[in-house]
Structure 1
Amino acid sequence: MANPETNAAPNLPTLDVAVVMRRERLHGPSSHWQPWRWTLDSVVPDEPGFGTAPRLLRDDQGEQSWLHPGFKVELFRDEAEGYHLNATTPAPCWFVLWRMEEEATLGPEPIPRPVVVTLSYYEAGRWLDAQEIVEQVPAPAEVLDWLRAFVQEHYVVEPKKRKRPESFRPLVDRFGNAASVSTEKKRGRGAGDV
């Protein structure tokens, strides 16, 4: 993988990457309804020879690989905690959000189109919360070193604030007025008194 670069906006570390999507044949009972599925294959360094348009890399017996160049992975200071969470997991990875084409534009059938690539655990979580398709593949060591250097410089651990136990909170009614609880027996005759 090429060395990470610092370009584009001032003080905004970026990497230029390309995404490879793979169509593979399914086996088993579900293959009657869906013989193929698309999956994320890899994230690789973008190279000038890739061009700017998606292109078919391989088509063997219906299994296909498509290269999608031209993605920029940017590291933002306000995402430092999300990068920290990814960098400290046992398997740090790239997260890729992709969508299927509505209509075929490059071949006889629609293909998946990667939309954005990130290294932030939180950003990927927001996409998943929005019901997007997000897949992950392992990130190489040199990218992780770059990511960890950014995290070390920009991530500040927020001190945990001690939450006061509920039993120490003052009692208030639904209008916010002070309320009290009594364990004394009420005076007067009750329904059970004879």
Structure 2
Amino acid sequence: MSSSEFPAPGTVGRPTLDVAVVMRRERLHGPSSHWQPWRWTLDSVIPDAPGFGAGPRLLHDDDGAQRWLHPGYKVELFRDEAEGYHLNATTPAPCWFVLWRMDEEATLAPEPIPRPVVVTLSYYEAGRWLDAQETVEQVPAPPEVIDWVRDFVDAHYVIEPKRRRRPESFRPLVDRFGNAASVTTEKKRGPGAGDV
């Protein structure tokens, strides 16, 4: 199924799309392949379909290269993330963001496989995951999905006017305890002030 086959999103309640994630294991070449012969990476985000089932399944296995399908993810649009969607939709290359983790207890394969946790279209949400040291990858989102996001952004995102910040030099001076402080340029006079 190609990414151009996304069904029209639901209009009842919160806007959502049902998606599936494809993860790919690829063989590494070069000196580092001694220690790590392959790596996992995000392959694609595609429309979910009833025929995909409920759990992960192996799509392709050839000479160590594998592709695993993970169905059953819901991409929801939230009003408080509208700015994050706006930033994604207005970039030259809008994309899906997928947070995934290695499933050390996988029973479907002889070795651990990656398991997607959540899919989003919000630039800010992906940034929060990266700040939390999570594994987040991105793949291009198709134009019809980005048009859907733009429609949501147009309806819910209000650009807040930037407020002029007062220069730091106009802020009142306070000491480390929050008490008013003062600065003087007058020369100290009296004993111990360096008078000769």
CA RMSD of aligned residues (A): 1.5
CA positional deviation for 1:113: 0.5
- What is the distance in 2 between the residues matched to 1:118 and 1:51? 22
Distance 1:176 1:33, change over 3 A: closer
Q: Does structure 2 retain, via aligned residues, the 8 Å contact 1:53–1:69? A: yes
Instruction: Deviation per CA, 1:110-158: give whole Å up to 9, x if none.
Output: 1111111000011111111111110000000100100111011100111
- What is the distance in 1 between the residues matched to 2:177 and 2:34? 61
One-letter code aligned to 1:168: F
Partner residue of 1:107 out of 106, 109, 112 = 109
Taking every aligned residue pair, what percent have the same amino acid on both sides?
Answer: 83
Structure 2 equivalent of residue 17 of structure 1 = 19
Q: Does structure 2 retain, via aligned residues, the 8 Å contact 1:87–1:147? A: yes
CA positional deviation for 1:192: 4.5
Alignment of 1:28-107 (within 5 A): 28-107=30-109
CA positional deviation for 1:47: 1.0
- What is the distance in 2 between the residues matched to 1:134 and 1:61? 26
Structure 2 equivalent of residue 151 of structure 1 = 153
- What is the distance in 1 between the residues matched to 2:152 and 2:66? 36
* SS of alignment partner, residue 157 of structure 1: coil
- What is the distance in 2 between the residues matched to 1:192 and 1:111? 74
- TM-score (ref. length: structure 2): 0.92
Structure 1 equivalent of residue 8 of structure 2 = 4
Moved over 6 A (4+): none
* SS of alignment partner, residue 103 of structure 1: coil
- TM-score (ref. length: structure 1): 0.93
- What is the distance in 1 between the residues matched to 2:110 and 2:183? 73
- What is the distance in 1 between the residues matched to 2:27 and 2:87? 34
Unaligned runs of 5+ in 2: none
Q: Does structure 2 retain, via aligned residues, the 8 Å contact 1:97–1:116? A: yes
Q: Does structure 2 retain, via aligned residues, the 8 Å contact 1:4–1:14? A: no
Instruction: Deviation per CA, 1:88-117: give whole Å up to 9, x if none.
Output: 111110000111111231011111111110
Instruction: Deviation per CA, 1:33-61: give whole Å up to 9, x if none.
Output: 00010000000001111111111100111
- What is the distance in 2 between the residues matched to 1:75 and 1:21? 23
One-letter code aligned to 1:98: W
CA positional deviation for 1:191: 5.8
- What is the distance in 1 between the residues matched to 2:112 and 2:173? 61
CA positional deviation for 1:189: 5.3
What is the number of equivalent residue pairs in this alignment?
A: 192
- What is the distance in 2 between the residues matched to 1:2 and 1:75? 16
Partner residue of 1:128 out of 120, 124, 130 = 130
